[in-house]
Amino acid sequence: MVAKYELDDDSVVLIIGTGSGGGVLANELAQKGVKVVSLEAGGRYLPDDYLNDEWDSFAQLAWLDARTTSGDWRVAKDFAGLPAWIVKAVGGTSIHWAGASLRFQPHEWKARSSYGHVTGANLLDWPIDAAEMEPWYEKAEAKLGVTRTGGRPGLPGNNNYKILEKGALALGYKEVHTGRMAIRSVDSEEQIACQQTGFCFQGCKWGAKWSSAYTDIPAGEATGNLEVRDRCHALKIEHDDKGRVTGVLYADKDGVQHLQKARVVCVAGNSIESPRILLNSASSMFPDGLANSSGQVGRNYLRHVTGSVYGVFEKPVKMWRGTTMAGIVQDEARLDPSRGFVGGYELETLSLGLPFMAAFLDPGGWGRSFTSAMDGYENMAGMWIVGEDMPQETNRVALSATEKDQFGLPAPNVHFDDHPNDVAMRNHAYARGEAIYRAAGATRTFPTPPYPSTHNLGTNRMSEKARDGVVNRHGQSHDVPNLFVSDGSQFTSGAAENPTLTIVALAIRQADFIAGELAKNNL
Amino acid sequence: MTPSTERRGLSRRQLMSRGLAATAGMIIGGGFIAASDAAWAYEAAALKPETMATLVRMARDIYPHDRIPDEFYVIAVKGYDAPEAAPEIEAGISALNAAAQGAGHADYLSIGWEDDRVALLRAMENSAFFQKIRGGLVTGLYNQKAVWPIFGYEGESFSKGGYLHRGFDDINWL
pLDDT, tens digit (0-9, with 9 covering 90-100), for B97-114 = 999 999 999 999 999 999
pLDDT > 60? residue A306: yes
Q: What is the pLDDT of residue B42?
A: 85
DSSP-assigned beta bridge partners for residue A415: A70, A396
Rounded mean pLDDT of A262-279?
Answer: 98
pLDDT > 70? residue A315: yes
Q: What is the pLDDT of residue B30?
A: 53
B45 touches chain A (CB under 8 A): no
pLDDT > 60? residue B4: no
Mean of all residue pLDDT scores within chain A: 97
Rounded mean pLDDT of A124-144?
Answer: 98
Residues in A whose CB is inside 8 Å of some CB of B read 52-53, 55, 156-159, 162-163, 166, 194-199, 205-206, 314-318, 320-322, 353-355, 357-359, 364, 366-368, 370-371, 374-375, 377-378, 440-441
Q: What is the chain A residue with the closest CA to B58?
A: A367
pLDDT > 70? residue B36: no
Q: Which of A158, A162, A197 sits opposite B157 (nearest CB)?
A: A197
Q: What is the pLDDT of residue B161?
A: 97
Rounded mean pLDDT of B78-82?
Answer: 95
The conformation of residue A106, written as its DSSP 8-state character, comes to G
Q: What is the pLDDT of residue A190?
A: 87
pLDDT > 60? residue A347: yes
- Chain B CB contacts of A378 under 8 Å are 151-153
B113 touches chain A (CB under 8 A): no
CA–CA distance, A386 with A344 (Å, rounded to integer): 9
CB atoms within 10 A of CB A117: 7
| Whole-prediction pTM | 0.94
The answer to whether the CB atoms of A371 and B64 lie below 8 A apart is yes
pLDDT level of residue B38 (50, 70, 90 thresholds): low
DSSP-assigned beta bridge partners for residue A248: A237, A260
| Shortest distance, CA B5 to any CA of chain A (angstroms) | 36
Q: What is the pLDDT of residue A145?
A: 97
Are A230 and A40 within 8 A, CB to CB?
yes
pLDDT > 80? residue B33: no
Q: What is the pLDDT of residue B12?
A: 40
Rounded mean pLDDT of A42-65?
Answer: 98
Q: Which of A322, A355, A368 sits opposite B163 (nearest CB)?
A: A322
The answer to whether the CB atoms of A55 and B139 lie below 8 A apart is yes
CA–CA distance, A434 with A440 (Å, rounded to integer): 10
Rounded mean pLDDT of A64-80?
Answer: 95
B128 touches chain A (CB under 8 A): no
Q: What is the chain B residue with the closest CA to A441?
A: B174
pLDDT > 90? residue B131: yes
pLDDT level of residue B3 (50, 70, 90 thresholds): very low
Q: What is the pLDDT of residue B41?
A: 79
Q: What is the chain A residue with the closest CA to B117?
A: A367
- Chain B CB contacts of A368 under 8 Å are 64
pLDDT level of residue A311 (50, 70, 90 thresholds): very high
CA–CA distance, A58 with A46 (Å, rounded to integer): 15
CA–CA distance, A340 with A246 (Å, rounded to integer): 49
The conformation of residue A190, written as its DSSP 8-state character, comes to S
pLDDT > 70? residue B59: yes
Percent of chain A having pLDDT more than 70? 100
- Chain A CB contacts of B158 under 8 Å are 52, 197, 199, 205-206
The answer to whether the CB atoms of A196 and B173 lie below 8 A apart is no
Rounded mean pLDDT of A448-477?
Answer: 97
Q: What is the pLDDT of residue B37?
A: 61
CB atoms within 10 A of CB A264: 23
The conformation of residue B40, written as its DSSP 8-state character, comes to -
What own/partner pairs with CB < 8 Å and gap ≥ 24 does A367-370 have? A367/B61, A367/B62, A367/B64, A367/B118, A368/B64, A370/B63
- List the single range of A299-313, A379-393, B15-29, B143-157 with lowest mean pLDDT: B15-29
* pLDDT tens digits, one per residue of A366-417: 999 999 999 999 999 999 999 999 999 999 999 999 999 999 999 999 999 9
CB atoms within 10 A of CB A231: 17
Rounded mean pLDDT of B71-85?
Answer: 95
Rounded mean pLDDT of A8-14?
Answer: 98
The answer to whether the CB atoms of A378 and B141 lie below 8 A apart is no
Report helix, strand or coil for A226: strand
The answer to whether the CB atoms of B155 and A52 lie below 8 A apart is yes
